Amino acid sequence: MYLHGVEESLKESAVSRILAVLNFDYVAETLIKAVLLHKNVKLEKNSGEYKTFYSLIGDLRTYYNNAAVISEIESLHNSRNEIQHNASVPSDQNIMRYKLNIRIFFDELCKVVYRDAVTFDSISLSYLVDSQNEITILDEMEKAMGDQNYADCILYARKAVQYHTELMRLNTMAPTFYDNLGYRDILAGVQSAPRYGIRTLDYRAERYFDEVNKAIKYLLDRNLFPDHYDEIEQLLDPWGLHSKPPDKEQAEQMRIRAYDIITRTQWRLKKLKDRKGPIIFDLRIKTRGDKKVVLIGVASISEISELKLKFSQDRKNEYEINSSPKIGLQEIEIDPKYSVQFNELRITVIDVNNKNDASYLKLK
């Protein structure tokens, strides 16, 4: 609830400011009731009627009595009442105040009432995610955010959503073939026809099935993500990214959106069954001083024991590395003679055991 409020507070519209206040007020009331129930204080009067918000605040003062913060919480609730009864729109300044004071309120309650047994930082939204592969990607997103690496935070947020959409399709059991394999692209595993010379019947057929596949995917996604379809399309669209290096606010917004999409849509299927590994969610060449390394992110390794990274440029001078994969991110140093020789390397990851290419989550 708090993070939804934070997300709305980052948007520049009257509706978003209103939604931010409603979320923050809901958080405040939930926290107050949680503390009182923890202290065995009844939330009802002797008559059986529920106590008012201000009566609950009065009960809370027995266990928490920071007058300045409580005054801000009461101001927040008054703002919520103004919205409901008078259609009042809160100012940006008040939104920032409420966002800060709700966080202070939470932290101080944890310290005073729960003696730091619970902290904001210890609560991970990934606990609400069903897919272990998604959790792995989201954990790397959180690490990037903690390291102030906002570009990678956004990258992993997008990769998590991309994997989630693919996983949801796969778990629908909506076949594009007449089998029980579930959803997969019509052209998956079919060798593409040449893209040059006279257009052959094979090429025209490929184009036809490609259009059919897009239509199936569109209808499937509209059903799976009725409230988030346009948001997902925007989030995964590379043209929607900022050309300048992202800042903390943009990374935080993308982070919250990833959690929101995943946790609010996974319930549409009874149980998500993860794709079998290896699932590669990051594969880049990075410079570390005078060295170059391959950064590889693995979400799932299944039963494989080794990956082969195959490098090439224009199909010449191939260079291979065998690697024992592990879940998460790892760096593999490239032989200097190749890192100097190649400006741009094509990287293929091969499952050595099954002699197949590993599944790589490549964004559009």
Per residue, what are the HEC states of the chain?
A: CHHHHHHHHCCCCHHHHHHHHHHHHHHHHHHHHHHHHHCCCCCECCCCCECCHHHHHHHHCCCCCCHHHHHHHHHHHHHHHHHHHHCCCCCHHHHHHHHHHHHHHHHHHHHHCCCCCCCCCCCCHHHHCCCHHHHHHHHHHHHHHHCCCHHHHHHHHHHHHHHHHHHHHHCCCCCCCCCCCCCCCCCCCCCCCCCCCCCCHHHHHHHHHHHHHHHHHHHHHHHHCCCCHHHHHHHHCHHHCCCCCCCHHHHHHHHHHHHHHHHHHHHHCCCCCCCCCCEEEEEEEEEECCEEEEEEEEEECCCCCCEEEEEEECCEEEEEEEECCCCEEEEEECCHHHHHHCCCCEEEEEECCCCEECEECCCC
Structure confidence at residue 149 (pLDDT): 93
Contact 5, 25 (CB under 8 A): no
Last residue of a domain, one of 90, 123, 156: 123
**Statement to judge: residues 110 and 160 lie in one domain:** no
131 and 19 fall within a common domain = no
Instruction: Kindly state whether residue 196 falls inside one of the protein's structural domains.
Output: yes
Identify the pLDDT of residue 180.
43
Q: Are residues 19 and 119 in the same domain?
A: yes
First to last CA, the chain: 31
Does the reported pTM lie above 0.85?
A: no
Q: Does 274 map to a domain? A: no
119 and 130 together in one domain: no
Residue 322 falls inside a structural domain: yes
Q: Please indicate, yes or no, whether residues 114 and 244 belong to a single structural domain of this protein.
A: no
Domain containing residue 349: CATH number: 2.60.40
Do 85 and 189 lie in one domain? The reply is no
Please report whether residue 57 resides in a domain: yes
Q: What's the structural domain count of the chain?
A: 3
| Claim to verify: residue 138 and residue 256 sit in the same structural domain | yes
- Residue 273 forms part of a structural domain: no
Instruction: Report mean pLDDT in 10-residue bins for the chain, 364 residues.
Output: 78 87 89 90 84 91 92 93 87 91 90 75 68 91 90 93 88 57 54 49 65 80 84 79 76 85 79 75 82 82 63 60 76 70 56 55 58
In a domain, 58, yes or no: yes
> Domain limits at 19?
2-123
Residue 213's pLDDT is what?
Answer: 76
Considering the domain architecture, whether residues 185 and 315 belong to the same structural domain is answered as no
State whether 168 and 261 are in the same domain: yes
Pairing type for strands 346-351 and 316-323 reads unpaired
| Residue pair 35/63 in contact by the 8 Å Cβ criterion | yes
Residue 184, pLDDT score: 57
Q: Using alpha carbons only, how large is the chain's radius of gyration in Å? A: 26
Query: Among residues 123, 148, 167, which one ends one of the domains?
Result: 123
- How many whole angstroms separate alpha carbon 54 and alpha carbon 44? 13
Determine, yes or no, domain membership for 289: yes
Domain shared by 68 and 137, yes or no: no
Q: Do both 137 and 71 map to the same domain? A: no
Select from 123, 143, 162 the last residue of a domain: 123
The pLDDT value given to residue 277: 66
User: Are residue 228 and residue 175 in the same domain, yes or no?
Assistant: yes
Inside any domain, residue 310: yes
